[in-house]
């Protein structure tokens, strides 16, 4: 049985906390009856694309990368106010169990890490992925891909100056581009709604749809639900007709070393940004991404996880084991066209205060 001392967090929602004294009193009450299994004692973080997802009815609610959980130890493993409250309670009510003084890890900060290279996703696409062709769009799983992004590409002629496009049955997030220009972004509750595009009649255009798997529900009745199959699951319509002849570019982003930074960069497109820095003595730290939009970040080839400026978390945890003495590189894949010429490493996580209630 799990004794929940905190809770996980979801995008766009306030951080969930539990009062330290109330928790300590509850732990004492349980221990007076028997034993306890604290969940979590140390939550840590979810690296890569393993953030997971919860659900309310038909709505999937992706979770943030951090699994701090407001636990007794924080994301990097240091004692919190909860830890100290439980420790004090144990010393008072259960003195037969001696309490050692906790250890604290050192962290580091580093300012003004410069941008050294950048390249648009569309320019380096062929170095990251080999296209799979089919008449209709395929789901991510049909391509042998489990996580990450999937780019769908086709060409079409415009039959009128304004065309109506519609993505039929897709998950989780779709960004539509025509000839490299952003048109619209849709989420699970919006996918299927009309997208109106004004173009030049009879012109041949390239249509790109970047779909993100934002996380799968990791418990309950949705394990086998079709909503957990990611990508475009039916097709894409122009007016009332399905578009055909698609190329699929799977982007699990497990090969950041293959990014070709010698290619071009275009404003307002999904892109990769590289930042180089040196470290004398690696220590735990946090990558501040508060001035970026949405995406994932890598340090020395390791996927740190997802970031999104909607909050509540605006940074990613970097353990000292991911850093090297000497030269290091951070690569940020950003999908909204929001980036900075310099980035910063901080001693503590960067958080966004969100008002309201959790779903």
d(CA 209, CA 233): 13
pLDDT tens column, 171-182: 999 999 999 999
Distance between CA atoms of residues 113 and 115, nearest Å = 7
Q: Give me the mean pLDDT over the 18-45 stretch.
A: 97
Average pLDDT, integer, range 295-311: 99
Residue 61: both structure tokens together: 């609610």
Please tell me the predicted confidence (pLDDT) of residue 128: 98
Give the right CATH number for 3-93 from 3.40.50.1860, 3.40.50.170, 1.10.10.10, 2.60.120.260.
2.60.120.260
Residue range 342-349: mean pLDDT, rounded: 99
User: Tens of pLDDT along 258-284?
Assistant: 999 999 999 999 999 999 999 999 999
Q: Is the pLDDT of residue 76 over 80?
A: yes
Q: How far apart are CA 288 and CA 186, in angstroms?
A: 26
Phi, psi values for residue 277, rounded to 5°: -155, 165
Q: With 0.85 as the threshold, say if the pTM is over it.
A: yes
Q: If you count DSSP H runs as helices and E runs as strands, how many of each does the chain have, helices first?
A: 3, 22
Q: For residue 113, how far is the Cα from the chain centroid?
A: 22
What are the residue ranges of CATH 2.60.120.260 in the chain?
A: 3-93, 110-121+254-346, 136-244
Q: How confident is the model at residue 299 (pLDDT cuts 50, 70, 90)?
A: very high
What average pLDDT does range 158-163 have in this prediction? 92
Per-residue confidence (pLDDT) for residue 359, from 0 to 100: 64
Tell which CATH architecture fits domain 110-121+254-346: Sandwich (2.60)
The first and second tokens of residue 182, run together, are 């952003």
Residue 24 burial by Cβ neighbours in a 10 Å radius (0-12, 13-18, 19+): buried
Which among 311, 297, 241, 289 is positioned nearest to 63, based on CA atoms?
311
The 3 state secondary structure assigned to 97-142 is: CCCCCCCCCCECCEEEEEEEEEEEHHHHHHHHCCCEEECCCCECHH
136-244: CATH number: 2.60.120.260
């Amino acid at each position: 049985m799990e004794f929940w001392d905190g809770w996980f967090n979801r995008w766009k929602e306030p951080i969930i906390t539990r009062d330290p004294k109330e928790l300590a009193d509850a732990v004492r009450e349980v221990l007076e009856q028997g034993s306890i299994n604290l969940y979590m004692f140390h939550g840590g973080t979810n690296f890569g694309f393993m953030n997971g997802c919860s659900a309310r009815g038909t709505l999937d609610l992706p979770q943030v990368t951090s699994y701090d959980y407001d636990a007794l130890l924080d994301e990097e493993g240091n004692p919190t106010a909860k830890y100290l409250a439980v420790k004090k309670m144990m010393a008072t009510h259960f003195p037969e169990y001696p309490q050692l003084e906790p250890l604290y890890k050192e962290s580091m900060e580093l300012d003004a890490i410069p941008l050294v290279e950048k390249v648009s996703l569309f320019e380096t696409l062929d170095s990251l992925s080999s296209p799979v062709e089919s008449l209709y769009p395929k789901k991510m799983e049909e391509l042998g891909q489990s996580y990450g992004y999937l780019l769908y590409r086709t060409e079409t002629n415009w039959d009128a100056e304004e065309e109506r496009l519609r993505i039929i049955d897709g998950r989780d997030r779709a960004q539509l581009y025509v000839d490299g220009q952003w048109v619209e972004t849709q989420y699970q509750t919006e996918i299927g709604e009309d997208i109106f595009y004004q173009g030049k009649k009879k012109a041949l255009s390239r249509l790109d749809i970047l779909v993100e798997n934002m996380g799968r529900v990791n418990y309950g009745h949705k394990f086998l639900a079709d909503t957990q199959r990611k990508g475009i699951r039916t097709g894409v319509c122009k007016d009332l007709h399905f578009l055909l002849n698609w190329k699929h570019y799977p982007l699990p982003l497990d090969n950041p070393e293959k990014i070709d930074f010698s290619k071009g960069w275009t404003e307002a497109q999904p892109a990769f940004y590289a930042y180089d820095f040196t470290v004398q003595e690696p220590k735990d730290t946090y990558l501040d991404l508060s001035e970026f939009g949405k995406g994932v970040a890598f340090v020395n080839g390791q996927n740190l996880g997802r970031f999104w400026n909607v909050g509540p978390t605006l940074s990613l945890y970097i353990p000292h084991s991911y850093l090297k003495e000497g030269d290091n590189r951070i690569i940020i894949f950003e999908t909204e066209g929001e980036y900075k010429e310099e980035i910063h490493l901080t001693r503590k996580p960067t958080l966004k205060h969100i008002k309201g209630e959790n779903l």
